[in-house]
Chain A
Amino acid sequence: EAQVTQNPRYLITVTGKKLTVTCSQNMNHEYMSWYRQDPGLGLRQIYYSMNVEVTDKGDVPEGYKVSRKEKRNFPLILESPSPNQTSLYFCASSLGTSIYNEQFFGPGTRLTVL
């Protein structure tokens, strides 16, 4: 089944403990993106990647890192998580960014940083 997968789906951690949220797609999509969703703010783009080894900042990149070593994977790394990074995170992918390219979203990862 063509889809975007994220792991873990739920994570509770403590301040400062490095964590990685994985994202994988099996549709050979070039564009991948991470968003965080907070009440009243909608989805805000963290980072995106146009292709392997090509990543760029979105609107809220502070405190996050990403990598794109393979086309299918786009992990989100929090080197030193803080409570203000408690949020619902979505990964998405698409063939490209043309108006004709639909973004497919993962199921979301709910992160709590204590």
Chain B
Amino acid sequence: NAGVMQNPRHLVRRRGQEARLRCSPMKGHSHVYWYRQLPEEGLKFMVYLQKENIIDESGMPKERFSAEFPKEGPSILRIQQVVRGDSAAYFCASSPMATNYGYTFGSGTRLTVV
């Protein structure tokens, strides 16, 4: 029973490029959450999705960031025209139902913008 799978583990992008981060939730989990951890900071909520629906995107920056969780396939967090300030660890979590506890987090994607 695989856990939450995130790939890539490490991603290096030049300023202005696009970054695509993937998250495959645990089997049977239909709720996905994305969090970002900036250096020396705690995790900050970005977006909560169910299959084909964005439920809460109150933590998403207004520009350049988007997320989706299609009917088939992983959830994708997309960052267009990356800047140095986007360098962070991005964590995905999943749950079988709407819940705010007992999330299972993935190991994260560490994005470095050079």
A binds B: no
| Chain B residues proximal to chain A, CB less than 8 Å | none
| Chain A residues proximal to chain B, CB less than 8 Å | none
